[in-house]
Structure 1
Amino acid sequence: MSDLAELWKKLSGAKYPDECKSLLKQCLTQELFDQLKDKKTSLNGTLADCIRSGAKNLDSGVGLYACDPEAYTTFKPLFDAVIKMYHKVDTINHPKPDFGDISKLDFGDIDPSGEMIVSTRVRVGRSHDGYSFPPCSNKEARIDMLKKTEEACATLPGELAGKMYRLEGMSKTDEQQLIDDHFLFKNDDRMLGDAGGYADWPIGRGIFHNPKKTFLVWVNEEDHLRFISMQMGGNLGEVYKRLVNGIQELEKKLTFAKKDGYGYLTFCPTNLGTTCRASVHIKIPKLSKLPEFKEFCEKLNLQPRGIHGEHTESVGGVFDISNKRRLGLTEYEAIQEMRKG
């Protein structure tokens, strides 16, 4: 409790919005704090585990992380408030998963000329059911999750088949190749670090990919799992089909955490729901220079960012454009929102 008291003192003492304007700061009132401070999940997750990063980093945008899948139930009043504010919804009523009929997609290559789109990527996050998220996880659990995932990936058929590269003990040759391919994730985000994201680094982390480097699985990066389908050019249909096939194959071996009305549960509440992010790297040097560019994207529920991720700049007029909404729509609708936008 002393840890929680210190965290609450720092968070509640910060002036809004000058010193802290995170969603956590806006949603966690004294009344709500008193209501939740003594609660625990069955995996021993506490309120302190959920707010630690946001209290230590007053410049956080969100500031709240789930300690484990049960956090969304045990600390429901706080998580619901943050979720509604971030996802801009009045009620939390996420539909059941629906990837559409991938044998009858009404889209394929969205840039047949190849003049605009450099590459296409679709990813989802998943959490192993019954395991804590980074704030409460431990070395044994991370190793166990990596082992289970590696065994599941070993059963992938056809073009999905590949090899798992464990970060612990990785050879310099493999490490350099993964860096060159922009596949290797790092431990350099202080907000994630303060939420336990890099504990026991690099133990229990791994990257799986097929020989063509078009299907990847990240293990214990931020979420327990990230599944990624990608390729050069604009064939969204091929990328999406490959991802759905990969998810369906891995679901035969692994059980993922989800909750009715919330969809698939993730470490950060900004990703839950479909957890789906579909993006293209697209050349738009003229459009991106218009003063109303960001507003234009906002109206289409699109999110523009630099090609090296959030908070990075565009390079040569190439932007990463993705669907912004994760919650309150199906996976198929999320893909269509990016495509039509």
Structure 2
Amino acid sequence: MYQKAYGQKGAARGDKDKESAQELFDKLKKATSSECHSLLKKHLTEERFKALKDKKTKFNGRLEDCIRSGCINLDSGVGIYACDPEAYTTFALVLDEVIKDYHKVDKLDHPEPDFGDTSKLGFGDLDPSGNMIVSTRVRIGRSHDSYGFPPVLTKEDRVNMEKDTVKALNTLTGDLKGKYYPLEGMTAETQKQLTDDHFLFNDHDRFLREAHGYQDWPTGRGIYFSDDKKFLTWVNEEDHLRFISMQSGGNLGEVYTRLVNAVNQLQKSGLQFAKRKGLGYLTFCPSNLGTTLRASVHIKIPKLAATPDFKAFCDKLNIQARGIHGEHTESVGGVYDISNKRRLGLTEFEAVQEMRKGVEAVITEEKKLAGN
């Protein structure tokens, strides 16, 4: 449905990992505007670099751990990752500016979490006819508050984090009950089945690789899914945890409620998630903060998508249209991935409502253009 295929390539450490913050920054400074237009280059000024280059977090994270990928991959869009949850405070001088720029906000005053009352959502199936929406998904990212992010994690950390996660997942009941499949030691038969189901993730992203996202691959990583395969958890892919609720058709109410129930059960089991006042939930990449919530549908809209004002139509509604295989991919058969654009500065319930209203407007416009 939405997931990536799993690969077996590992990430190896090299001489680039030994480069100091100064050496990395020098590369960034030398890059021309045509070579590099990342948010890192824009906001990591000489003055900020000097103020941050010798700082260290309680997880022993340093500035070079945050900027390595963006200084090596000069074509990065963001260019900076957080080495651990505390990095958002220790290196706030640059990270706060990147966050405000990326999320298009003037100040960092994200509200407290609020999923709303799922018994009184006021919405259910967005496409009762079943003619337009192919599938619906809602996902969020979460980080254990007691562990750093990939740049500072040891192999032992990854193994222990996986154990903590699986222990919590095994407490899930009802339609959330399922099984965990570790990537390490996975049989060829299971790997083929999960790949055919499009459930497994890979280690192919060069930006994440340079940020140490794939160290010790595939140790400490795996996937959990419920018996009906409508609730999934990715463990140690990019973020510590990715919770995903999905199903065929357009019943956003069911998908959202399932996700909220899962998060509530897991928190009761003892999982504690990293947060910062004003930023909400913290993850590895500053592009995914606050609610970290992305609600989306795969929807058939060939008429609307063919209009010259399609992007402007979506922008006005704070929704984003992408190809069905993610950002920078093309539509297949007139089917697009439509999701909420904003994740920071509003509650979880407000984010899913923004997506709902946007999808309803898209459906109305498509029907109008089709003469229905």
Tell whether the structures are fold-level matches, with TM greater than 0.5.
Answer: yes
1:208-244 C-alpha deviation (Å, 9 max, x unpaired): 0011110000000000000000000000000000000
The answer on 1:310 being equivalent to 2:300 is no
1:225-283 C-alpha deviation (Å, 9 max, x unpaired): 00000000000000000000000001122111001111000000010100000000000
The answer on 1:267 being equivalent to 2:284 is yes
1:186-215 C-alpha deviation (Å, 9 max, x unpaired): 000000110011100000001000111100
Counterparts of 1:264 and 1:151 in 2: how far apart (Å)?
A: 22
Count matched residues.
340
SS in structure 1 at match of 2:167: helix
Q: Which of the residues 158, 176, 190 maps onto 2:192?
A: 176
Counterparts of 1:290 and 1:2 in 2: how far apart (Å)?
A: 48
Q: Which of the residues 160, 163, 171 maps onto 1:147?
A: 163
Query: Which amino acid in the other structure matches residue 197 of structure 1?
Result: G
Q: Which residue of 2 aligns with 1:105?
A: 121
Counterparts of 1:81 and 1:262 in 2: how far apart (Å)?
A: 12
Question: How far does residue 39 in structure 1 lie from its aligned partner after superposition?
Answer: 0.5
Counterparts of 1:8 and 1:337 in 2: how far apart (Å)?
A: 39
Q: Which residue of 1 aligns with 2:314?
A: 297
Which of 2-11 and 182-191 deviates more? 2-11
Q: Which residue of 1 aligns with 2:9?
A: none
Query: Which amino acid in the other structure matches residue 309 of structure 1?
Result: G
Q: Which residue of 1 aligns with 2:302?
A: 285
Q: Which residue of 1 aligns with 2:351?
A: 334
Q: Which runs of 5+ in 1 are unaligned?
A: none
Counterparts of 1:103 and 1:227 in 2: how far apart (Å)?
A: 21
SS in structure 1 at match of 2:302: coil
Q: Which residue of 1 aligns with 2:370?
A: none
SS in structure 2 at match of 1:45: coil
SS in structure 2 at match of 1:67: coil
Q: What pairs up with 1:65-144 in 2 under 5 angstroms?
A: 65-144=81-160
Question: How far does residue 290 in structure 1 lie from its aligned partner after superposition?
Answer: 1.1
Q: Which residue of 2 aligns with 1:206?
A: 222
The answer on 1:26 being equivalent to 2:12 is no
Counterparts of 2:196 and 2:126 in 1: how far apart (Å)?
A: 27
Question: How far does residue 2 in structure 1 lie from its aligned partner after superposition?
Answer: 5.4
Counterparts of 2:195 and 2:312 in 1: how far apart (Å)?
A: 34
Counterparts of 1:11 and 1:151 in 2: how far apart (Å)?
A: 43
Counterparts of 1:165 and 1:94 in 2: how far apart (Å)?
A: 35
Q: Which runs of 5+ in 2 are unaligned?
A: 1-17, 359-372
Query: Which amino acid in the other structure matches residue 37 of structure 2?
Result: K
1:21-62 C-alpha deviation (Å, 9 max, x unpaired): 000010000011011111000110000000000000000000
Q: Which of the residues 13, 22, 28 maps onto 1:5?
A: 22
Q: What pairs up with 1:230-241 in 2 under 5 angstroms?
A: 230-241=246-257
Question: How far does residue 299 in structure 1 lie from its aligned partner after superposition?
Answer: 1.3
Counterparts of 1:60 and 1:153 in 2: how far apart (Å)?
A: 35
Counterparts of 1:320 and 1:335 in 2: how far apart (Å)?
A: 15
- TM-score scaled to structure 1, two decimals? 0.99
Query: Which amino acid in the other structure matches residue 106 of structure 2?
Result: D
Counterparts of 2:356 and 2:193 in 1: how far apart (Å)?
A: 31
Counterparts of 2:202 and 2:188 in 1: how far apart (Å)?
A: 15
The answer on 1:53 being equivalent to 2:88 is no
Q: Which residue of 1 aligns with 2:361?
A: none
1:57-93 C-alpha deviation (Å, 9 max, x unpaired): 0000000100000000000110100000000000000
Cα RMSD of the aligned pairs, angstroms, is 0.9
The answer on 1:39 being equivalent to 2:55 is yes
Question: How far does residue 133 in structure 1 lie from its aligned partner after superposition?
Answer: 0.4
Question: How far does residue 180 in structure 1 lie from its aligned partner after superposition?
Answer: 1.3
Counterparts of 2:19 and 2:308 in 1: how far apart (Å)?
A: 49
The answer on 1:187 being equivalent to 2:187 is no
Counterparts of 1:28 and 1:91 in 2: how far apart (Å)?
A: 18
Question: How far does residue 303 in structure 1 lie from its aligned partner after superposition?
Answer: 1.1
Query: Which amino acid in the other structure matches residue 307 of structure 2?
Result: L
Query: Which amino acid in the other structure matches residue 274 of structure 1?
Result: T
